Amino acid sequence: MNYSTSHAISNNKLLLLAGTGWLFDAMDIGLLDFILTALKVDWNLTASQLGWIASVNSIGMAIGAFVFGIYADKKGRKSAFLLTLLMFSIASGLSAFAWGFVSLIILRFFIGLGLGGELPVASTLVSESVPPSVRGRIVVLLESFWAAGWIIAALIAYFLIPLPAIGWRGAMILCALPAFYALYLRTGLPDSPLYNGLSVSAKQQSIWSKLTTLWAKPYHKSTLMLWIVWFCVVFSYYGMFLWLPNVMMMKGFSLVQSFGYVLLMTLAQLSGYFTVAWLIERIGRKWVLTIYLTGTLISAYLFGMAQSANGLLLCGALLSFFNLGAWGALYAYTPEQYATNIRATGTGMAASIGRIGGIFGPLMVGSLVTIDVAISTIFMIFAMAILFAIIAIVLLGKETKQQQFTD
């Protein structure tokens, strides 16, 4: 496949088009982080209820990743990308008018459904549309748009949510903007050239056949490794990062102070992505992912133990740097484990298993905080989950740097 002539869009334009959708996803998830803190005050919600709001989002993401991964293998990556982007943006806008806990829970499920489907589909689309020599770097840079979305969310939270005239409802209305972007993408974004080259029979392979192929040779070790890694990484990520503003408040900082510190921590994400983008084509996916997850493990432990403002800021920045860098490597690594006819299904299934971890992470934090378990103990649990992921990569992972994709 000659990638340079097989499609009429440059790598940079593809990255910008798909990355902007990714940015909007991150903005929504990032705003949820800050909105949970505001809702705790406005609606007098318990820690357990806050955990459920975060977890129902992950329930939707788990189902969305599974359903739309299969859909993308049957109907195309572009179609799935547009549909999921439209779904989550409309539900985000409607959530601004939620009148209570139950209505918000229902809308967060549909937001999660769109988000969960879009992320693995977008990474599959981009990875199939660029040459092997730059594939890892481009997919990591795609993931870097996530940091930009979080930074925008943090700015909105810091400057707009505290204003009575705007609040969290005004912030959610901003999340409806991607609906208009999806309409633009209908004409600006091509489908994957590799997917377009598949035979009709390959595209119409039964769902059961695709799922069983994931556990057949030569894919069974890769599938087991990915499911373990995705579960542990998402479990720890959502458990830690959705609770950062609350953790800051638990340690004695005001609502506005906590938003400001989290904004500074979030800025560290960009350097994490950029260093991984530079390293991933040099030392490979497997060891970059291992190194950055090890950094995540150490940073999580140190953040849980920190007490001073400077200590929290430093450890939080390191946690953002290593954890989000690891996310970039994981999104580059996952689609490369499978052939084109099952790539979106395999990527979506791994993400779906991960989202199950995302359900339990925030719920666990809410439950443990309710019974006064120390923050240091909670973050030690997340550090141990990352350790399991590292072991799985070392024992079961294979290097996929610059490999040619197969049908």
**What's the CA gap between 305 and 251, in Å, rounded?**
11
Evaluate whether 332 touches 136 at the Cβ level (below 8 Å): yes
For residue 345, give Cα distances in angstroms to 113, 211, 349. Answer: 16, 8, 6
- Contact between 47 and 369 (Cβ < 8 Å): yes
List, for residues 310-352, the tens digit of each pLDDT value: 788 888 889 989 999 999 999 999 999 999 999 999 999 999 9
| Per-domain residue ranges of the chain | 11-186+202-396
Residue 242 contacts residue 150 (beta carbons within 8 Å): no
pLDDT tens for each residue of the chain, 407 residues long: 444 444 446 888 888 888 888 888 888 877 876 777 777 777 888 877 877 887 788 889 899 999 999 999 999 998 998 899 888 888 888 888 888 888 989 998 998 899 899 989 999 999 999 888 899 999 999 988 888 888 888 788 778 877 877 887 888 887 777 777 777 776 677 888 899 888 888 888 899 999 999 999 899 999 999 999 999 999 998 888 766 666 766 666 665 555 666 667 767 888 999 999 999 999 999 999 999 999 999 999 998 888 777 788 888 889 989 999 999 999 999 999 999 999 999 999 999 999 898 888 877 887 887 888 888 899 999 999 999 999 999 999 999 998 888 66
Per DSSP, the chain holds a count of helices (H) and strands (E) of 17, 0
Q: Which helix (H) or strand (E) holds 38?
A: helix 11-42
Chain centroid to CA 389: 16
Q: Contact at 8 Å (CB) between 88 and 118?
A: yes
Residue 105 is which amino acid?
Answer: I
The model's pTM is 0.86
In CATH terms, the fold of domain 11-186+202-396 is Growth Hormone; Chain: A; (1.20.1250)
On average, the pLDDT of the chain sits at 85
- Structure token pair of residue 221: 């070790």
Contacts of 336 (CB under 8 A, 6+ apart): 127, 135, 285, 400, 403, 405
Burial of 232 (0-12, 13-18, 19+ CB in 10 A): buried
Mapped onto helix, strand or coil, the DSSP state of residue 131 is coil
Q: How many CB atoms lie within 10 A of CB 36?
A: 22
User: Does residue 201 come out as left (phi exceeding 0), alpha (psi in the -120 to 50 range) or beta?
Assistant: alpha
Instruction: Centre a 10 Å sphere on the Cβ of residue 13 and count the other Cβ atoms it contains.
Output: 13
For residues 283 and 267, what is the distance between their CA atoms, to the nearest angstrom?
25
Q: Which value, to the nearest 10 degrees, does the dihedral of the CA atoms of residues 136, 137, 141, 147 take?
A: 80
The answer for 76, left when phi > 0, alpha when psi is -120 to 50, beta otherwise, is left
Distances (CA, A) of 392 to 302, 334, 386, 387, 398: 23, 14, 10, 9, 11
Q: Which candidate, 207, 176, 222, places its Cα nearest to that of 345? A: 207
